[in-house]
Structure 1
């Protein structure tokens, strides 16, 4: 989260007048993050202070956002702890403020964990919640193609190939090709609504229990197991890019206790674990090759090391 569009108290009071959320007491911009402008809001209603988050979307358009607004409401209605757009006095959740799409959401409390703090218990918690999210999203009535899905990585891998060393070209080509083969031959892999970006910094914890799953703006329709692979590649690896078998077993077992794996998923897991590493390696490589000195860029070598480890030491589903 970050602040790109500045608001003053009058801007926020005028916006709040559309809602039945009380009078503005305080507001504060939220720093850190790369996509949207966010403010914490404190209001007073019937003598009680309430906490909210005001988000202005800096990249997603007004036409793109209804999918995410409807999805978050759908999941919240099914007891998945995700932020959702509060509806105004006219029953509308998605607004405009300062020429940008905007929503007010409930504020969730908890703490972000560093990679070094992630334990098997934390991994088990996200495994359970992700499986619950997948089950809750199975009947969701809208679909969306991932912005950086298979068609994106086919195109971008071809464009970036001449800039890479031969060894990296081979690694990237192999990962793209094997996903294409899997997609063509495993038509029975369970699909549905995925989070698409469930890294550890998109979760809030109270102890080892999850209080909120944040930032669903990469959600899409895809293989459910691919979503789990994204989580495993972030939550269950060491700083050197090697899989921690204890954390990964905790993650996968907890997930399977809620949504059991199919036989086709057991076959596909090693490939999808590599596909997930490849996708984030590629998305980090592109801006890195343009200017790796830019602030907030993530080093693509982290995902490259995970991809190599997934290639050399494939794991299995429990």
Structure 2
């Protein structure tokens, strides 16, 4: 989430009319996140999230995401749904960009990582992956290691990264040799950070804008990195929490031997993916004038430390 496109008063009125919102519905910018424009809308006693896609992606693929969200809700996985407007559509266009009005998911973002939370996210991801195995979504712009490596390789990385260059590119060369293509695939959330999970009456997943058909253990690697390893627990506690999370996941979907063998390397790959994403977004791209939360790649370097323990 971020704000690249400032909605004019005319745009806001178009949204109010098209979705039957009150004339005093308030639009509040959301600076968190980095890929799309997002507003919180407060309309009387209701809240909504309005998302404007900034990646110039294929509309048909974006509609597949909306279909997926509806399908998941029908199968008891709580996630946002796009509202239907007065034209009978679940989207609109502003400045040739696709916009959607989503219901507001109640609850609190995950702030305390404990056994209970990890069990819930493990079982939820297991069910999500089981449901998504026969579906496909492709993205022209995506959270992908090679996609962002190509972008950042066009500049002098040694000048930008300085003392961090050798560590980052050394680990990249290590993971680049690994072939993950034969692993089981399905729709992965691909951005399953704690701030994309709400805890209310039930666990809810939000922000599927980067979901894609890919090896399923991508989501497991993101959780291990950004729910557990980044917290710098003691090694014993870290290993215990990883085991609790994976056991809960396998209660819904069993991992095959090759997934277990490559999970540790996928953890490294996803750490590098988000490091490259941040290098591109905050060190190379010009985002001046954008209301966006700034996140340094340096905060993630701890994830590149050499591991001695196997996950499985």
Change (3 A) 1:154 1:51: closer
Alignment-derived partner of residue 42 in structure 1: 43
Equivalence for 2:254 = 260
User: Judging changes above 3 Å, is the alpha-carbon distance between structure 1 residues 173 and 139 closer, same or farther for their aligned structure 2 residues?
Assistant: same
Segment of structure 1 superposing worse, 158-167 or 104-113: 158-167
Local SS of the residue matching 2:99: strand
2:227 pairs with 1:235: yes
Quote the RMSD (CA, aligned, Å): 3.2
Tell me which residue corresponds to 1:123: 118
Q: Deviation above 6 Å: which 4+ runs of structure 1?
A: 164-167
Provide the rounded CA distance (Å) in 2 between the counterparts of 1:5 and 1:204.
27
Deviation at 1:246, TM superposition (A): 2.9
Task: Report SS of the residue matched to 2:249.
Answer: helix
* Number of corresponding residues: 301
How far, CA to CA, are the matches of 2:258 and 2:13 in structure 1? 54
CA distance in 2, matches of 1:50, 1:286: 37
TM superposition shift of 1:276: 1.0
1:80 and 2:77 equivalent? yes
**CA distance, structure 1, for counterparts of residue 249 and residue 105 of structure 2:** 23
Output one character per residue of 1:202-240: Cα deviation in whole Å (capped at 9) or x when no partner: 111127x41x21111111121111221011101112544
Q: Is the 8 A contact 1:120 1:246 kept in 2?
A: no
SS at match of 1:312: coil
Give TM-score scaled by structure 2 length.
0.81
Superposed, 1:59-98 pairs within 5 Å as 59-61=55-57, 63=59, 65-97=62-94
Inter-partner Cα distance in structure 2 for 1:14 and 1:296: 27
| 2: CA distance, partners of 1:31 / 1:150 | 26
Change (3 A) 1:147 1:59: closer
- Listed one character per residue, the Cα deviations across residues 69-128 of structure 1 (whole Å, up to 9, x for unaligned) are 2332333333221112222344321212465421122111001133xx221211221111
Compute the displacement of 1:301 (Å): 2.2
* Structure 1 spans left out of the alignment, 5+ residues: 44-48
Q: CA contact under 8 A between 2:230 and 2:303: conserved in structure 1? A: no
* C-alpha contact 1:110 1:205 (8 A) present in aligned 2: yes
**Higher RCO, 1 or 2 (CA under 8 Å, sep at least 6)?**
2
Measure the CA separation in 1 of the matches of 2:187 and 2:89.
Answer: 24
In structure 2, stretches of 5+ residues that fail to align are none
In structure 2, the CA distance between the partners of 1:131 and 1:73, relative to structure 1 (3 Å rule), is: same
Counterpart of 1:217 in structure 2 is: 209
Q: Which moved more, 1:192-201 or 1:92-101?
A: 92-101
Query: Does the aligned pair in 2 maintain the 1:123–1:236 contact within 8 Å?
Result: no
Partner of 1:46: none
Are 1:276 and 2:270 counterparts?
Answer: yes
